[in-house]
């Protein structure tokens, strides 16, 4: 077992012929704070949507809280994500 809160291994996401993410590896240790920076269209929001369980990866694997899964969909009930605007989540 590792001490990663979030881990992604070669995660890719494509929309037709557009490759939004290409084999992204990320390992965030428990208790760490990370930031994603990049140009518009770099895939930051797409990656965060995968982590939140709002999208499914085209390839790769990941885990959150040491729960191995093909996608991050199992974490959607425990995580909130708002991209480019406010959102309301049920309590």
Domain 4-75, second-level architecture: 3-Layer(aba) Sandwich (3.40)
The domain spans of the chain are 4-75
Q: Distance between CA atoms of 58 and 14, rounded to whole angstroms?
A: 6
Q: Distance between CA atoms of 19 and 28, rounded to whole angstroms?
A: 24
Contact 84, 46 (CB under 8 A): no
Q: What DSSP designation does 27 have? A: E
Both tokens assigned to 45: 């929001």
pTM over 0.75? The answer is no
Beta bridge mates, 62: 8, 69
Each residue's pLDDT tens digit in the chain (91 positions)? 567 888 888 999 999 999 999 999 998 888 888 888 889 889 988 888 887 777 888 998 877 665 554 445 555 555 555 666 665 655 5
């Amino acid at each position: 077992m590792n001490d990663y809160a979030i881990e992604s291994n070669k995660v890719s996401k494509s929309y037709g012929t557009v490759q939004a993410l290409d084999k992204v590896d990320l390992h965030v240790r428990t208790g760490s704070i990370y930031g994603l920076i990049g140009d518009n269209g770099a895939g930051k929001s797409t990656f965060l949507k995968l982590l939140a369980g709002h999208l499914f990866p085209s390839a790769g694997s990941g885990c959150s809280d040491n729960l191995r899964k093909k996608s991050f969909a199992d974490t959607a009930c425990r995580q909130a994500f708002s991209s480019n605007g406010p959102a309301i989540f049920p309590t």
